[in-house]
Amino acid sequence: MCLLPEDAGRLIKAGASIQVEEGLGESIAIDAGKYEAAGATVVRDRPRALAEAGLILRLHKPPLEEIAELREGVVHVSFLDPYRTPEFAAAMNDRGVSAVSLEMIPRSTLAQKMDVLSSQASLAGYAAVVLAASRLERIFPMMMTPAGTISPARVFVIGAGVAGLQAIATAKRLGARVDAFDVRPEVEEQIKSLGAKFLKVDLGGETSGTAQGYAKALTEEQLARQREAMSKQCAHSDVVIAAAQVFGRKAPVLVTSEMRRGMKAGSVIVDLAVETGGNVEGSAMDRELTLDGVLLLGHSHMARRVAVAASQMLSSNLTNFVQHFWDKTAGTFVLNLDDEILKGCLVTHKREILQERVREIVAGAGKGNA
């Protein structure tokens, strides 16, 4: 849910006029009265509101057929996933919409307060561990009782970006023994600072990240080395949290069926990369499967499991985004094309696709359809 009443109030105080669609907030028990009290108007007529708006804030991209109903020149802010679903960026472009893709907001210090990927990934890492702990038929902490001692659960986190680091921190707080691996060597210190062990794997060749802090895709040979080195670790683990991603590409398959078969019956794997193709062979979107005695959880949008916190963070990120571009004197949102943040995330503007890679993908898709 993308805008809480208190954040709507902040924008209204700055001079915005806000319409919210009826039902917004219902899923987290916020009723229309709260938006009205903040000064917003609650509207039922979605096509009319879409046709009138100068700026649209939403979580997901709109249905494809709805893009034709948007007003030409409107600024549309949402997740857009232009690399994997370029048809939406293409339709926004045809319609003359200025489309901002939330996942492309630069991971810079200046943009940190608008970084929706980080805020949702943190929650996903937390929720993944809590889910795994609730489904594991063992306990995370060591427990010493007169009846005997129970050793702590062993958790292995693969991919220590924002989600993985939060998963490590959560598993540690619950008392588990945590090991982790990431392909970017610079992450080792961060893993250790959370009290987890870093699994050393010699992948050979270059593995440091891109200038934006993302991992580069490994070669097939490097991936094979990685899988081999991780097999033993998976076999020892009660829980595996797989959170490895390569920005803009399909997630690498890191836990094969053979590795899963080597795991103890009753172990739990959470595939946090399921939406981008999955890190775990056999995982399926929004399915819970027991394969060879191992429970494989493939829930998408993991942050939804903590919907109030997810909405708070998203609403705050979006409000910060709007405020960054707000002209206080004129009381309007200004699309400043020279702004570094906007240069990274504005995908279409005045019927031009501004991001080179998206332009190539859209052109490629067009040829494919011809």
Residue 318 near ligand NAD by CB under 6 A: no
Question: Cβ neighbours of residue 185 under 8 Å, at least 6 residues apart?
Answer: 207, 208
Cβ closest to ligand NAD, residue 107 vs residue 173: 107
Among 84, 107, 249, 305, the active-site one is 107
CB of 257 to ligand NAD, least distance (A): 18
Q: How far is CA 143 from the centre of its chain?
A: 34
The reply on whether position 178 binds ligand NAD by CB under 6 A is no
Annotation says 112 is catalytic: yes
Q: Rounded distance, CA 265 to CA 146, Å?
A: 27
Between residues 184 and 299, which has the closer beta carbon with respect to ligand NAD? 184
Q: Give helix 307-324 / helix 116-135 axis angle, nearest 10°.
A: 170
Residue 173 catalytic?
Answer: no
Taking the complex as a whole, the smallest distance from the CB of residue 316 to ligand NAD amounts, in Å, to: 15
The mark string for 132-171 relative to ligand NAD (x by CB under 6 A, - otherwise) is --------------------------xxxxxxx-------
DSSP string spanning 115-183?
Answer: -HHHHHHHHHHHHHHHHHHHH-SS-SS-EEETTEEEPPPEEEEE--SHHHHHHHHHHHHTT-EEEEE-S
* Catalytically annotated residue among 115, 179, 182, 271: 115
* Residues in Cβ contact with 21 at an 8 Å cutoff, skipping those fewer than 6 apart: 42, 43, 44, 46, 49
Q: Compute the distance between CA of residue 96 and CA of residue 123 in angstroms, rounded to an integer.
A: 35
211-270 residues in contact with ligand NAD (CB under 6 A) are: 213-215, 218, 226, 243-247, 252, 254
Q: Residue 192 Cβ, how far from ligand NAD at the closest point, in Å?
A: 15
Residues between 74 and 113 with contacts to ligand NAD, criterion CB under 6 A: 107-109, 112
- If one asks whether residue 117 binds ligand NAD (CB under 6 A), the answer comes out as yes
Pick the stretch among 50-58, 127-135, 176-184, 290-298 that binds ligand NAD (CB under 6 A): 176-184
**Cα→Cα distances 49→19, 106, 194, 199, 222, Å:** 7, 30, 47, 53, 51
Q: Which residue in the shown chain puts its C-beta closest to ligand NAD?
A: 161
Any catalytic annotation for residue 115? yes
Q: How far apart are CA 143 and CA 309, in angstroms?
A: 31
Q: Which residues bind ligand NAD (CB under 6 A)?
A: 107-109, 112, 115, 117-118, 121, 158-164, 181-184, 187, 213-215, 218, 226, 243-247, 252, 254
